[in-house]
Amino acid sequence: MEMRLNVPIKDENLNELKAGDVVYLTGNILTARDQAHKRIIEQGAPLDIQGAVLFHAGPIITEEGGKYKMVAVGPTTSMRMNPYQSDVLDMGAKIVIGKGGMDDSVRDALVRNNAVYVVATGGCAALYVDAVEEIESVDWLDLGMPEAIWNLKVKDFGPLIVAMDSEGNSLYD
């Protein structure tokens, strides 16, 4: 099945998603790698993450005259976020985008929080950047550009494949 979802995500939309489904997202997604996840747990999120989509990505950004422009944004390996992801999902995030899968503690957190893990295809950073309409904000730039949280306004961001659904099914099994 193919589904187009608006962010923030509502639980009823996730109930229909099953492992193997294709998803496109419209709204705002937040990039967050391991250092951002760690800080979210330690200090709280700088933005509301209730119903949020978190993208395991280190975008390539240029800055011109105080304005940021995204050059490319592709997934990074999700397993680096395993120590933090369950706690962040417990804070209200509903979709995690990455590549390579996550461990059973994250699978349990996805089920517990009615959330899903979707994969973005590695090597498609130029394709995904076309769906980014605007960089709305950046937080924690002191972590460095790849580790900062970039708030991206996107339209039809995808295709993304549901790899781990809210019922515990996983394409990695």
pLDDT in tens, 13-32: 888 899 999 999 999 999 99
Q: Select from 77, 116, 83 the least CA-distant residue to 99.
A: 77
| H or E, element range at 31 | strand 22-31
Is 172 a domain residue? no
Which residues form the domain of 82? Answer: 2-163
Q: Which of 37, 56, 99, 107 is catalytic?
A: 37
H or E element at residue 11:
helix 11-16
Is 171 inside a domain boundary? no
Report yes or no on 125 lying in a domain: yes
In a domain, 150, yes or no: yes
Please report whether residue 173 resides in a domain: no
pLDDT at 64 over 90: no
pLDDT confidence of residue 13: 82
Residue 93 maps to a domain: yes
Contact 74, 34 (CB under 8 A): no
The question of whether 37 is a catalytic residue gets the answer yes
86-145 tens-digit pLDDT: 999 999 999 999 999 999 999 999 999 999 999 998 777 778 999 999 999 999 999 999
Q: Is residue 114 part of a domain?
A: yes
Query: Residue 27 corresponds to which tokens in the numbers above?
Result: 């709204």
For the whole model, what pTM was predicted?
Answer: 0.95
CATH number at 110 reads: 3.20.130.10
Residue closest to 95 by CA, chosen among 4, 39, 166, 147: 166
Residue 111, beta-bridge partner list:
none
Number of domains in the chain: 1
